[in-house]
Homo-oligomer: A and B are copies of this chain.
Amino acid sequence: MSIPLMEPAFEYCFELRCRVEDPVQLGGTTPGEGLHFARVSGGTFDGPRLRGTILDGGGDWWNGRGLAVELDARYVIEAEVETGTAGVEVVNRGVWRTDDATWARIVAGEAVDERELYYRTAFRFRTDHPELRWLTEYQFVGYARAEPGYVIIRVFRLA
């Protein structure tokens, strides 16, 4: 029997432009190692499927090990719906890693694009708004890049 298998495919939905504050060290004894908290303090998002604003509050509890970082972000966005806006919980987990040269450029305040950084995530959204139900019914992944003070993540849904 041959089982029909799919080629994974994506659809681009929107891009989050997330303002992230300087991290506070919570674990580890060396800067960048162990648990940190970086507050998410605002931003916007826009794209073919959704647009709105990112609220101040929540943040990214990230855990560093050398030049690799495990992300665990949780924050809130307000999406535009027909009658106004609706709150949506965002949980975004993933990994981020780089090399010494690219890291030096980030520290120097340069923007780093998606190809220069392995910064890939998976999203879970939570909302009960009927217009936004699709956010809870697909698996989403993110491709991220860095600009000073911001993380910019393109959000795709898996076909």
Question: In the bound complex, do residue A57 and residue B59 qualify as a contact, i.e. CB atoms below 8 Å apart?
Answer: yes
Q: How many residues of A contact B (CB 8 A)?
A: 59
Question: In the bound complex, do residue B4 and residue A158 qualify as a contact, i.e. CB atoms below 8 Å apart?
Answer: no
Known contacts A39-B57, A89-B61, A95-B139, A27 near B128 by CB under 8 Å? yes
Question: In the bound complex, do residue B59 and residue A128 qualify as a contact, i.e. CB atoms below 8 Å apart?
Answer: no
Residues of B within 8 A of A68 (CB): 136-137
Report A63-107 residues with CB < 8 Å from chain B CB: 68, 70, 74, 76, 78, 87-89, 93-95, 97
Since A118-B138, A141-B158 are in contact, a sample of 7 more A-B pairs with Cβ atoms closer than 8 Å, ordered by chain A residue number, is A8-B10, A26-B88, A34-B128, A39-B55, A58-B59, A70-B124, A139-B141
